[in-house]
Amino acid sequence: MGTLNGIMTAVFDAIYAPLNVLPHWFSLTLLSGMLGVVALLVVKYASNQTAIGRVKDDIKANMLAIKLFKDEMRVMFGAQRRLIWAALRMQYHMLLPVLVMFIPFVLMAAQMGLRYQWRPLEVGEEVVLTAVLQADADGSSLDLQIPEQAGFKAHDRVRVTSDQSVSWHLRAEEDGVHTIEITNGRETFTKNLGVGKGARRVCPVRPGPGFLDKLLYPAEAPFAASSLVQSIRLEPYPDRDSWYAGADWWLVWFLVVSIVFALVFKPVLKVKF
């Protein structure tokens, strides 16, 4: 999973290199529209379009029968039964395209979340960094430190929130993408910190070996199961504050725009669904 995430992150960094000069709403709309058209092509070539056409004809015929013979209960119930059967057949014919698209679209959505879910910190803004340790680790007995580094300042004393996590307060001081280093003797554990307009990709968590964390936070290599540090989290990482992005609004925008583009290009590409 870590290797796949690394490939996807590199691909999307290349895709966003020209998109980063555009307003966020425009880049999100453009990419959503392109993915909607791609989904349309997957439906066209991964499904049986002839069979889907026959199912749609059956649906129209039975809808017409219900309208014309609404006083004939036997005919109407028969048409309704055939409508249900046609709907089930349509779901069957759409199953393969959905399976083909599912994993790539989940991976792409995770990458888009890095660009539209959260925003970089502003200079002077503070965040709490928490290193989550292995279950059998004793945080109070370890020599975990954050050496002085450019771009941010770790202040306050290290506070052990439990035997399995250690936290620091961080204050952003310079624009850019900075690497936070946490040391434990000769061991070093790192986490990226995005500050200012120069940081377009933001990830609040460097994940551990858990599958869900690796799926949701793909920007940085996950920690191994044997690592003393199992994850590093920056909380609260601010959401983007806009009418189209931040929180989960960007995902709603993505779905709506991709569906609209698919419907617009459906007759152009001659796709049936």
Q: Rounded to an integer, what distance in angstroms lies between the CA atom of residue 231 and that of residue 224?
A: 10
The pLDDT value recorded for residue 217 is 94
The pLDDT value recorded for residue 21 is 85
Cβ–Cβ under 8 Å, residues 196 and 177: no
Q: Rounded to an integer, what distance in angstroms lies between the CA atom of residue 109 and that of residue 91?
A: 24
Residues in the chain: 273
The pLDDT value recorded for residue 2 is 77
The pLDDT value recorded for residue 83 is 92
pTM value > 0.75: yes
Q: Rounded to an integer, what distance in angstroms lies between the CA atom of residue 214 and that of residue 110?
A: 10
Name the residue ranges covered by the structural domains of the chain: 2-117+246-269, 126-235
Cβ–Cβ under 8 Å, residues 219 and 200: no
Tokens found for residue 89: 């057949």
Q: What is the mean pLDDT of each run of 10 residues along the chain (273 residues)?
A: 88 90 89 95 95 93 87 85 93 94 93 90 93 81 86 78 82 92 92 84 92 93 93 88 73 93 95 90
DSSP 204: S
The pLDDT value recorded for residue 139 is 64
Strand ranges for the chain from DSSP E? 126-133, 144-145, 152-162, 165-172, 176-184, 187-195, 205-206, 229-235
50 CB burial (10 A radius; 0-12, 13-18, 19+): exposed
Q: Rounded to an integer, what distance in angstroms lies between the CA atom of residue 224 and that of residue 227?
A: 5
